[in-house]
Structure 1
Amino acid sequence: MTNLDGKIALVTGGSKGIGRAIAARLARDGALVAVHYGHDETAAKETVASIERAGGRAFAVSAALGVDGDVAKLFTALEAELRERTGDFHLDIVVNNAATGAGSISATTPEEFDKVFAVNVKAPFFIVQKALSVLRDGGRVVNISSADTRIALPFELAYSMTKGALDVFGRSLAQELGGRAITVNTVAPGPTPTERTAHLFADERIRAGMAGASALGRTAEPEDVADIVGFLASDDARWVTGQVIDATGGMFLGPQAG
Protein backbone atom coordinates (compact mmCIF):
# COMPACT_ATOMS: atom_id res chain seq x y z
CA MET A 1 0.00 0.00 0.00
CA THR A 2 1.27 3.46 -0.90
CA ASN A 3 1.10 6.53 1.32
CA LEU A 4 -1.17 9.38 0.26
CA ASP A 5 -1.65 10.92 3.69
CA GLY A 6 -2.48 14.61 3.40
CA LYS A 7 -3.25 14.37 -0.33
CA ILE A 8 -6.50 15.51 -1.94
CA ALA A 9 -7.82 13.65 -4.97
CA LEU A 10 -10.60 14.25 -7.48
CA VAL A 11 -11.99 11.15 -9.21
CA THR A 12 -14.50 11.85 -11.96
CA GLY A 13 -17.14 9.20 -12.45
CA GLY A 14 -16.19 7.95 -9.01
CA SER A 15 -19.56 6.60 -7.92
CA LYS A 16 -19.55 3.31 -9.84
CA GLY A 17 -17.40 0.63 -11.42
CA ILE A 18 -13.73 1.37 -11.96
CA GLY A 19 -14.15 4.91 -10.62
CA ARG A 20 -15.57 3.61 -7.35
CA ALA A 21 -12.66 1.19 -6.98
CA ILE A 22 -10.17 3.99 -7.67
CA ALA A 23 -11.79 6.28 -5.11
CA ALA A 24 -11.70 3.49 -2.53
CA ARG A 25 -8.06 2.70 -3.24
CA LEU A 26 -6.91 6.33 -2.97
CA ALA A 27 -8.89 6.80 0.25
CA ARG A 28 -7.43 3.60 1.70
CA ASP A 29 -3.98 5.01 0.99
CA GLY A 30 -4.84 8.12 3.00
CA ALA A 31 -6.15 10.67 0.48
CA LEU A 32 -9.25 12.79 0.98
CA VAL A 33 -11.25 11.87 -2.13
CA ALA A 34 -13.80 13.97 -3.99
CA VAL A 35 -16.14 11.42 -5.57
CA HIS A 36 -17.61 13.10 -8.64
CA TYR A 37 -20.87 11.88 -10.12
CA GLY A 38 -23.03 13.07 -12.95
CA HIS A 39 -26.51 11.74 -12.19
CA ASP A 40 -26.64 8.90 -9.68
CA GLU A 41 -26.55 10.57 -6.28
CA THR A 42 -27.49 7.36 -4.51
CA ALA A 43 -24.49 5.51 -5.92
CA ALA A 44 -22.17 8.38 -5.00
CA LYS A 45 -23.45 8.43 -1.42
CA GLU A 46 -23.00 4.66 -1.22
CA THR A 47 -19.41 5.00 -2.41
CA VAL A 48 -18.67 7.70 0.17
CA ALA A 49 -20.31 5.67 2.92
CA SER A 50 -18.31 2.58 1.98
CA ILE A 51 -15.07 4.56 2.10
CA GLU A 52 -15.95 6.03 5.48
CA ARG A 53 -16.87 2.62 6.92
CA ALA A 54 -13.39 1.47 5.92
CA GLY A 55 -11.84 4.39 7.81
CA GLY A 56 -11.24 6.64 4.80
CA ARG A 57 -12.32 10.18 3.98
CA ALA A 58 -14.46 11.17 1.01
CA PHE A 59 -17.28 13.41 -0.13
CA ALA A 60 -19.48 13.57 -3.22
CA VAL A 61 -19.59 16.38 -5.79
CA SER A 62 -22.15 16.58 -8.57
CA ALA A 63 -21.81 17.92 -12.11
CA ALA A 64 -23.17 16.47 -15.32
CA LEU A 65 -20.30 16.43 -17.82
CA GLY A 66 -20.61 17.19 -21.51
CA VAL A 67 -22.96 20.15 -21.05
CA ASP A 68 -22.39 23.90 -20.94
CA GLY A 69 -20.90 25.05 -17.65
CA ASP A 70 -19.99 21.53 -16.51
CA VAL A 71 -16.43 22.24 -15.37
CA ALA A 72 -17.35 25.51 -13.68
CA LYS A 73 -20.12 23.77 -11.74
CA LEU A 74 -17.78 20.95 -10.71
CA PHE A 75 -15.09 23.27 -9.43
CA THR A 76 -17.52 25.56 -7.64
CA ALA A 77 -18.85 22.59 -5.68
CA LEU A 78 -15.36 21.19 -5.16
CA GLU A 79 -14.01 24.47 -3.81
CA ALA A 80 -16.92 24.91 -1.42
CA GLU A 81 -16.49 21.43 0.03
CA LEU A 82 -12.73 21.64 0.37
CA ARG A 83 -12.70 25.07 1.96
CA GLU A 84 -15.27 23.86 4.49
CA ARG A 85 -13.36 20.66 5.24
CA THR A 86 -9.75 21.85 5.05
CA GLY A 87 -9.84 25.66 5.05
CA ASP A 88 -8.00 25.64 1.71
CA PHE A 89 -8.53 24.78 -1.93
CA HIS A 90 -5.91 22.69 -3.66
CA LEU A 91 -5.59 19.31 -5.33
CA ASP A 92 -2.80 16.77 -5.49
CA ILE A 93 -4.36 14.11 -7.72
CA VAL A 94 -6.79 14.34 -10.64
CA VAL A 95 -8.20 11.12 -12.09
CA ASN A 96 -10.22 11.54 -15.30
CA ASN A 97 -12.35 8.41 -15.27
CA ALA A 98 -15.85 9.55 -16.25
CA ALA A 99 -16.88 8.37 -19.71
CA THR A 100 -19.82 7.50 -21.88
CA GLY A 101 -20.11 5.23 -24.90
CA ALA A 102 -21.13 5.41 -28.54
CA GLY A 103 -21.20 2.83 -31.26
CA SER A 104 -20.39 1.90 -34.83
CA ILE A 105 -19.98 4.11 -37.86
CA SER A 106 -23.38 3.02 -39.14
CA ALA A 107 -25.30 3.44 -35.89
CA THR A 108 -23.83 6.56 -34.25
CA THR A 109 -25.80 9.77 -34.73
CA PRO A 110 -24.19 13.22 -34.85
CA GLU A 111 -25.74 13.96 -31.46
CA GLU A 112 -24.24 10.80 -29.93
CA PHE A 113 -20.88 11.56 -31.52
CA ASP A 114 -20.85 15.07 -30.06
CA LYS A 115 -21.85 13.79 -26.63
CA VAL A 116 -19.19 11.07 -26.41
CA PHE A 117 -16.46 13.53 -27.36
CA ALA A 118 -17.83 16.16 -24.98
CA VAL A 119 -17.76 13.77 -22.00
CA ASN A 120 -14.70 11.67 -22.83
CA VAL A 121 -12.37 14.29 -24.35
CA LYS A 122 -13.56 17.86 -23.84
CA ALA A 123 -14.39 17.43 -20.14
CA PRO A 124 -11.00 15.92 -19.15
CA PHE A 125 -9.18 18.62 -21.13
CA PHE A 126 -10.96 21.48 -19.39
CA ILE A 127 -10.98 19.78 -15.98
CA VAL A 128 -7.20 19.67 -16.11
CA GLN A 129 -7.05 23.22 -17.46
CA LYS A 130 -9.14 24.41 -14.51
CA ALA A 131 -7.23 22.26 -12.02
CA LEU A 132 -3.79 23.55 -12.96
CA SER A 133 -4.13 26.68 -10.83
CA VAL A 134 -4.84 24.58 -7.71
CA LEU A 135 -2.89 21.41 -8.51
CA ARG A 136 0.22 21.46 -6.38
CA ASP A 137 3.68 20.96 -7.87
CA GLY A 138 4.56 17.29 -7.74
CA GLY A 139 0.92 16.41 -8.35
CA ARG A 140 -0.54 13.59 -10.39
CA VAL A 141 -2.91 13.40 -13.35
CA VAL A 142 -4.17 9.95 -14.33
CA ASN A 143 -6.46 9.45 -17.31
CA ILE A 144 -8.48 6.28 -17.83
CA SER A 145 -8.35 5.17 -21.46
CA SER A 146 -9.16 1.77 -22.94
CA ALA A 147 -7.65 -1.21 -24.68
CA ASP A 148 -9.99 -0.27 -27.51
CA THR A 149 -7.23 2.01 -28.79
CA ARG A 150 -5.16 -1.03 -29.84
CA ILE A 151 -7.87 -3.67 -30.31
CA ALA A 152 -10.27 -3.04 -33.18
CA LEU A 153 -13.85 -3.09 -31.93
CA PRO A 154 -16.02 -1.60 -34.70
CA PHE A 155 -19.14 -1.60 -32.51
CA GLU A 156 -17.41 0.93 -30.22
CA LEU A 157 -15.72 3.00 -32.89
CA ALA A 158 -16.68 6.49 -31.69
CA TYR A 159 -15.86 5.56 -28.08
CA SER A 160 -12.49 4.14 -29.16
CA MET A 161 -11.68 7.36 -31.01
CA THR A 162 -12.20 9.38 -27.83
CA LYS A 163 -9.84 7.15 -25.92
CA GLY A 164 -7.19 7.55 -28.61
CA ALA A 165 -7.49 11.30 -28.14
CA LEU A 166 -7.06 10.83 -24.39
CA ASP A 167 -3.83 8.88 -24.96
CA VAL A 168 -2.40 11.78 -26.98
CA PHE A 169 -3.62 14.27 -24.40
CA GLY A 170 -1.75 12.50 -21.61
CA ARG A 171 1.55 12.24 -23.45
CA SER A 172 1.59 15.87 -24.55
CA LEU A 173 0.41 17.15 -21.18
CA ALA A 174 3.18 15.22 -19.42
CA GLN A 175 5.73 17.09 -21.49
CA GLU A 176 4.14 20.44 -20.67
CA LEU A 177 3.81 19.86 -16.92
CA GLY A 178 7.14 18.16 -16.29
CA GLY A 179 8.72 21.40 -15.15
CA ARG A 180 6.37 21.39 -12.17
CA ALA A 181 7.17 17.75 -11.38
CA ILE A 182 3.55 16.88 -12.20
CA THR A 183 3.30 13.45 -13.78
CA VAL A 184 0.61 12.55 -16.30
CA ASN A 185 -0.11 8.95 -17.12
CA THR A 186 -2.86 6.96 -18.78
CA VAL A 187 -4.28 3.57 -17.78
CA ALA A 188 -5.92 1.47 -20.50
CA PRO A 189 -8.10 -1.30 -19.04
CA GLY A 190 -9.40 -4.26 -20.95
CA PRO A 191 -12.81 -5.84 -20.36
CA THR A 192 -13.85 -5.10 -16.79
CA PRO A 193 -17.25 -5.76 -15.20
CA THR A 194 -19.03 -2.45 -14.66
CA GLU A 195 -22.56 -1.19 -15.19
CA ARG A 196 -21.63 -0.24 -18.77
CA THR A 197 -20.32 -3.71 -19.62
CA ALA A 198 -22.78 -5.81 -17.58
CA HIS A 199 -24.48 -7.12 -20.73
CA LEU A 200 -21.20 -8.62 -21.93
CA PHE A 201 -20.31 -10.30 -18.67
CA ALA A 202 -23.81 -11.73 -18.33
CA ASP A 203 -23.07 -14.00 -21.30
CA GLU A 204 -20.78 -16.81 -20.09
CA ARG A 205 -19.52 -17.56 -23.59
CA ILE A 206 -18.45 -13.96 -24.14
CA ARG A 207 -16.89 -13.78 -20.69
CA ALA A 208 -14.97 -17.03 -21.28
CA GLY A 209 -13.76 -15.73 -24.64
CA MET A 210 -12.48 -12.51 -23.07
CA ALA A 211 -10.74 -14.43 -20.30
CA GLY A 212 -9.15 -16.77 -22.83
CA ALA A 213 -7.69 -13.83 -24.75
CA SER A 214 -5.71 -12.74 -21.67
CA ALA A 215 -2.26 -14.12 -20.93
CA LEU A 216 -3.36 -14.39 -17.30
CA GLY A 217 -6.46 -16.37 -18.18
CA ARG A 218 -9.13 -14.14 -16.63
CA THR A 219 -10.90 -10.86 -17.00
CA ALA A 220 -10.16 -7.89 -14.78
CA GLU A 221 -11.86 -6.70 -11.65
CA PRO A 222 -12.18 -2.94 -11.03
CA GLU A 223 -9.66 -3.28 -8.20
CA ASP A 224 -7.01 -4.52 -10.65
CA VAL A 225 -7.22 -1.19 -12.44
CA ALA A 226 -7.53 0.84 -9.25
CA ASP A 227 -4.29 -0.58 -7.87
CA ILE A 228 -2.41 0.65 -10.93
CA VAL A 229 -3.88 4.12 -10.42
CA GLY A 230 -2.88 3.94 -6.74
CA PHE A 231 0.71 3.34 -7.76
CA LEU A 232 0.71 6.13 -10.36
CA ALA A 233 -0.77 8.54 -7.81
CA SER A 234 1.96 7.79 -5.30
CA ASP A 235 5.51 9.03 -4.87
CA ASP A 236 6.71 5.59 -5.94
CA ALA A 237 5.74 6.57 -9.51
CA ARG A 238 7.52 9.92 -9.47
CA TRP A 239 9.77 8.88 -12.39
CA VAL A 240 6.95 7.58 -14.60
CA THR A 241 5.22 10.10 -16.85
CA GLY A 242 3.76 10.33 -20.34
CA GLN A 243 3.01 6.61 -20.39
CA VAL A 244 0.01 4.53 -21.41
CA ILE A 245 -0.16 1.54 -19.07
CA ASP A 246 -1.83 -1.50 -20.62
CA ALA A 247 -4.14 -2.94 -17.95
CA THR A 248 -5.57 -5.89 -19.83
CA GLY A 249 -3.76 -8.84 -18.28
CA GLY A 250 -1.92 -9.24 -21.57
CA MET A 251 -4.83 -9.48 -24.00
CA PHE A 252 -3.98 -10.70 -27.50
CA LEU A 253 -0.24 -10.85 -26.94
CA GLY A 254 -0.04 -13.76 -29.36
CA PRO A 255 -1.27 -17.28 -30.03
CA GLN A 256 -2.36 -19.17 -26.93
CA ALA A 257 -0.44 -22.34 -26.08
CA GLY A 258 -2.25 -25.47 -27.20
Structure 2
Amino acid sequence: MKLPLYQVDAFTNQIFAGNPAAIVPLNEWISDELMVNIAAENNLAETAFYVPSENGFDIRWFTPSVEVDLCGHATLATAFVIFNIQGYEGDLIRFNSRSGELTVTRNEDWLTLNFPVDSYHIAVPPPALVEGLKSGTVQEVYKGKTDYMVVLDSEAEVRDLEMDIIILSTIPARGIIVTAPGEDVDFVSRFFAPQSGIDEDPVTGSAHTTLIPYWAEKLSKTTLTAKQLSKRGGFLQCELVNDRVNIGGQGRLYLQGELEI
Protein backbone atom coordinates (compact mmCIF):
# COMPACT_ATOMS: atom_id res chain seq x y z
CA MET A 1 0.00 0.00 0.00
CA LYS A 2 1.25 3.47 -0.91
CA LEU A 3 0.13 6.57 1.01
CA PRO A 4 0.98 10.23 0.32
CA LEU A 5 2.95 12.05 3.01
CA TYR A 6 3.52 15.77 3.52
CA GLN A 7 5.48 17.69 6.14
CA VAL A 8 4.58 21.30 6.84
CA ASP A 9 6.16 23.83 9.21
CA ALA A 10 3.20 25.47 10.97
CA PHE A 11 2.89 28.89 12.61
CA THR A 12 5.76 30.30 10.59
CA ASN A 13 6.45 31.76 7.15
CA GLN A 14 9.91 30.24 6.81
CA ILE A 15 11.40 26.77 6.59
CA PHE A 16 13.11 25.31 9.67
CA ALA A 17 10.95 27.34 12.06
CA GLY A 18 7.54 26.87 13.65
CA ASN A 19 6.27 23.40 14.43
CA PRO A 20 6.67 20.61 11.86
CA ALA A 21 3.77 18.21 11.39
CA ALA A 22 3.32 15.23 9.12
CA ILE A 23 0.06 14.86 7.20
CA VAL A 24 -1.25 11.63 5.68
CA PRO A 25 -4.38 12.01 3.49
CA LEU A 26 -6.58 8.90 3.39
CA ASN A 27 -9.59 7.82 1.37
CA GLU A 28 -10.76 5.68 4.28
CA TRP A 29 -9.48 4.97 7.77
CA ILE A 30 -6.64 2.54 8.27
CA SER A 31 -6.14 0.68 11.56
CA ASP A 32 -5.25 2.54 14.75
CA GLU A 33 -2.17 0.34 15.10
CA LEU A 34 -0.91 1.38 11.68
CA MET A 35 -1.50 5.08 12.39
CA VAL A 36 0.43 4.78 15.66
CA ASN A 37 3.30 3.03 13.85
CA ILE A 38 3.40 5.67 11.10
CA ALA A 39 3.45 8.47 13.70
CA ALA A 40 6.25 6.73 15.60
CA GLU A 41 8.23 6.28 12.38
CA ASN A 42 7.75 9.95 11.45
CA ASN A 43 9.02 10.84 14.95
CA LEU A 44 7.49 14.33 14.88
CA ALA A 45 5.43 15.91 17.63
CA GLU A 46 2.26 15.17 15.64
CA THR A 47 1.12 13.25 12.58
CA ALA A 48 -2.37 14.07 11.31
CA PHE A 49 -4.57 11.69 9.31
CA TYR A 50 -7.74 12.81 7.57
CA VAL A 51 -10.51 11.38 5.39
CA PRO A 52 -13.30 13.15 3.44
CA SER A 53 -16.68 13.34 5.17
CA GLU A 54 -20.13 14.62 4.21
CA ASN A 55 -19.53 18.15 5.47
CA GLY A 56 -15.72 18.37 5.23
CA PHE A 57 -13.11 16.05 6.70
CA ASP A 58 -12.63 13.79 9.70
CA ILE A 59 -9.24 14.32 11.39
CA ARG A 60 -7.17 12.46 13.98
CA TRP A 61 -3.80 13.30 15.53
CA PHE A 62 -1.02 11.07 16.88
CA THR A 63 2.20 11.78 18.74
CA PRO A 64 4.94 9.15 18.40
CA SER A 65 3.27 7.28 21.28
CA VAL A 66 -0.42 8.25 21.74
CA GLU A 67 -3.51 9.65 20.03
CA VAL A 68 -4.50 13.12 21.30
CA ASP A 69 -7.87 14.86 21.48
CA LEU A 70 -6.79 18.17 19.95
CA CYS A 71 -3.79 19.53 18.05
CA GLY A 72 -3.52 23.01 16.61
CA HIS A 73 -0.36 23.01 14.54
CA ALA A 74 -1.15 19.71 12.81
CA THR A 75 -4.66 20.99 12.00
CA LEU A 76 -3.19 24.13 10.46
CA ALA A 77 -0.68 21.99 8.54
CA THR A 78 -3.49 19.72 7.30
CA ALA A 79 -5.49 22.73 6.11
CA PHE A 80 -2.36 24.03 4.36
CA VAL A 81 -2.14 20.75 2.41
CA ILE A 82 -5.86 20.70 1.55
CA PHE A 83 -5.86 24.33 0.42
CA ASN A 84 -2.52 24.52 -1.36
CA ILE A 85 -1.80 21.00 -2.62
CA GLN A 86 -5.12 19.17 -2.87
CA GLY A 87 -6.77 22.06 -4.76
CA TYR A 88 -9.64 22.63 -2.35
CA GLU A 89 -12.08 25.28 -3.57
CA GLY A 90 -13.33 27.81 -1.05
CA ASP A 91 -11.81 29.51 1.98
CA LEU A 92 -13.36 27.48 4.82
CA ILE A 93 -12.63 23.88 5.84
CA ARG A 94 -14.67 21.97 8.43
CA PHE A 95 -13.03 19.20 10.43
CA ASN A 96 -14.86 16.66 12.57
CA SER A 97 -12.71 15.57 15.52
CA ARG A 98 -12.68 14.13 19.03
CA SER A 99 -12.99 17.74 20.20
CA GLY A 100 -16.05 18.47 18.08
CA GLU A 101 -16.25 20.56 14.93
CA LEU A 102 -13.19 22.67 14.09
CA THR A 103 -12.86 25.11 11.22
CA VAL A 104 -9.95 26.68 9.38
CA THR A 105 -10.40 29.85 7.35
CA ARG A 106 -7.99 31.06 4.66
CA ASN A 107 -7.15 34.74 4.14
CA GLU A 108 -4.32 34.97 1.59
CA ASP A 109 -1.45 33.03 3.22
CA TRP A 110 -2.90 33.20 6.76
CA LEU A 111 -4.87 30.26 8.13
CA THR A 112 -7.10 30.77 11.18
CA LEU A 113 -8.17 27.89 13.40
CA ASN A 114 -11.47 28.17 15.26
CA PHE A 115 -11.32 26.00 18.39
CA PRO A 116 -13.38 25.71 21.59
CA VAL A 117 -11.93 27.47 24.64
CA ASP A 118 -10.45 25.37 27.41
CA SER A 119 -12.06 25.37 30.85
CA TYR A 120 -9.45 26.02 33.53
CA HIS A 121 -9.31 26.81 37.23
CA ILE A 122 -6.81 27.88 39.88
CA ALA A 123 -4.88 24.82 41.04
CA VAL A 124 -2.53 23.76 43.78
CA PRO A 125 0.63 22.78 41.91
CA PRO A 126 1.57 19.13 42.32
CA PRO A 127 4.90 18.57 44.13
CA ALA A 128 6.57 17.43 40.89
CA LEU A 129 5.70 20.74 39.24
CA VAL A 130 7.31 22.74 42.05
CA GLU A 131 10.34 20.46 42.05
CA GLY A 132 10.64 20.27 38.26
CA LEU A 133 10.71 24.03 37.62
CA LYS A 134 14.21 25.09 38.59
CA SER A 135 13.85 28.80 37.84
CA GLY A 136 11.23 31.50 37.29
CA THR A 137 8.99 33.48 39.65
CA VAL A 138 5.68 31.59 39.71
CA GLN A 139 2.74 34.00 39.92
CA GLU A 140 -0.20 31.60 39.42
CA VAL A 141 -0.91 27.96 38.56
CA TYR A 142 -4.02 26.77 36.72
CA LYS A 143 -5.33 23.39 35.57
CA GLY A 144 -7.21 22.98 32.29
CA LYS A 145 -8.82 19.88 30.85
CA THR A 146 -5.47 18.35 29.94
CA ASP A 147 -2.65 20.72 30.95
CA TYR A 148 -1.26 22.70 33.85
CA MET A 149 -0.54 26.38 33.12
CA VAL A 150 2.16 28.21 35.07
CA VAL A 151 2.26 32.02 34.91
CA LEU A 152 5.70 33.56 35.37
CA ASP A 153 6.74 37.17 35.91
CA SER A 154 8.48 38.02 32.62
CA GLU A 155 9.29 36.96 29.06
CA ALA A 156 12.95 36.58 30.04
CA GLU A 157 12.01 34.03 32.71
CA VAL A 158 10.03 31.99 30.18
CA ARG A 159 12.87 32.14 27.66
CA ASP A 160 15.56 31.18 30.19
CA LEU A 161 13.50 28.68 32.15
CA GLU A 162 15.39 25.75 33.64
CA MET A 163 13.53 22.55 34.44
CA ASP A 164 13.91 18.84 35.10
CA ILE A 165 12.06 17.05 32.30
CA ILE A 166 12.26 13.68 34.06
CA ILE A 167 10.49 15.07 37.13
CA LEU A 168 7.91 16.92 35.02
CA SER A 169 7.13 13.67 33.16
CA THR A 170 5.60 12.25 36.37
CA ILE A 171 2.87 14.91 36.52
CA PRO A 172 -0.57 13.44 35.65
CA ALA A 173 -1.38 15.76 32.74
CA ARG A 174 -0.85 15.99 28.98
CA GLY A 175 1.70 18.75 29.52
CA ILE A 176 2.74 22.00 31.16
CA ILE A 177 2.21 25.46 29.66
CA VAL A 178 4.53 28.20 30.92
CA THR A 179 3.56 31.78 30.08
CA ALA A 180 4.24 35.44 30.87
CA PRO A 181 3.53 38.92 29.46
CA GLY A 182 5.44 39.58 26.24
CA GLU A 183 7.84 42.39 25.44
CA ASP A 184 6.77 43.04 21.82
CA VAL A 185 3.66 40.80 21.80
CA ASP A 186 0.84 40.46 24.30
CA PHE A 187 2.04 37.17 25.77
CA VAL A 188 4.66 34.47 25.32
CA SER A 189 4.69 30.79 26.20
CA ARG A 190 6.50 27.47 26.09
CA PHE A 191 4.97 23.99 26.25
CA PHE A 192 6.45 20.81 27.72
CA ALA A 193 4.80 17.40 27.29
CA PRO A 194 7.22 14.61 28.26
CA GLN A 195 4.16 12.57 29.31
CA SER A 196 3.18 12.46 25.61
CA GLY A 197 6.68 11.78 24.31
CA ILE A 198 7.50 15.45 23.58
CA ASP A 199 10.01 17.16 25.87
CA GLU A 200 9.25 20.60 24.37
CA ASP A 201 6.76 21.32 21.61
CA PRO A 202 7.93 24.10 19.23
CA VAL A 203 4.51 25.81 18.78
CA THR A 204 1.34 24.49 20.41
CA GLY A 205 -1.95 25.68 18.95
CA SER A 206 -4.08 23.70 21.41
CA ALA A 207 -2.33 25.30 24.41
CA HIS A 208 -3.67 28.64 23.18
CA THR A 209 -7.22 27.49 23.93
CA THR A 210 -6.15 28.05 27.55
CA LEU A 211 -3.75 30.94 27.00
CA ILE A 212 -6.09 33.16 24.95
CA PRO A 213 -9.01 33.34 27.41
CA TYR A 214 -6.58 33.82 30.31
CA TRP A 215 -4.68 36.71 28.71
CA ALA A 216 -7.83 38.24 27.21
CA GLU A 217 -9.22 38.61 30.74
CA LYS A 218 -5.89 39.67 32.20
CA LEU A 219 -5.23 42.34 29.57
CA SER A 220 -8.88 43.35 29.01
CA LYS A 221 -8.68 42.82 25.25
CA THR A 222 -9.96 40.12 22.91
CA THR A 223 -7.45 40.47 20.05
CA LEU A 224 -3.92 39.47 20.98
CA THR A 225 -0.54 38.58 19.51
CA ALA A 226 1.62 35.78 20.85
CA LYS A 227 4.98 34.09 20.47
CA GLN A 228 6.06 30.64 21.54
CA LEU A 229 9.67 30.86 22.68
CA SER A 230 10.98 27.46 21.66
CA LYS A 231 14.24 27.14 19.75
CA ARG A 232 12.31 27.09 16.44
CA GLY A 233 9.82 29.75 17.57
CA GLY A 234 6.41 30.69 16.25
CA PHE A 235 4.07 33.67 15.91
CA LEU A 236 0.30 33.56 16.40
CA GLN A 237 -2.54 36.02 15.93
CA CYS A 238 -5.23 35.31 18.51
CA GLU A 239 -8.81 36.32 19.23
CA LEU A 240 -11.35 35.39 21.88
CA VAL A 241 -14.91 35.12 20.51
CA ASN A 242 -17.33 34.09 23.27
CA ASP A 243 -16.59 30.42 24.01
CA ARG A 244 -14.34 29.96 20.95
CA VAL A 245 -10.85 31.13 20.05
CA ASN A 246 -9.37 32.08 16.69
CA ILE A 247 -5.72 31.09 16.30
CA GLY A 248 -4.04 32.43 13.17
CA GLY A 249 -0.75 31.39 11.62
CA GLN A 250 1.10 30.67 8.41
CA GLY A 251 2.71 27.53 7.03
CA ARG A 252 5.48 26.35 4.73
CA LEU A 253 5.72 23.05 2.87
CA TYR A 254 8.97 21.25 3.67
CA LEU A 255 8.52 17.76 2.24
CA GLN A 256 6.21 15.69 0.09
CA GLY A 257 6.61 12.01 -0.67
CA GLU A 258 5.06 8.58 -0.42
CA LEU A 259 4.87 5.94 2.28
CA GLU A 260 5.51 2.30 1.40
CA ILE A 261 3.41 0.23 3.83
Larger relative contact order (Cα-Cα within 8 Å, sequence gap ≥ 6)? 2
Greater per-residue helix proportion:
1
**TM-score where L is the length of structure 2:** 0.25
Greater per-residue strand proportion:
2
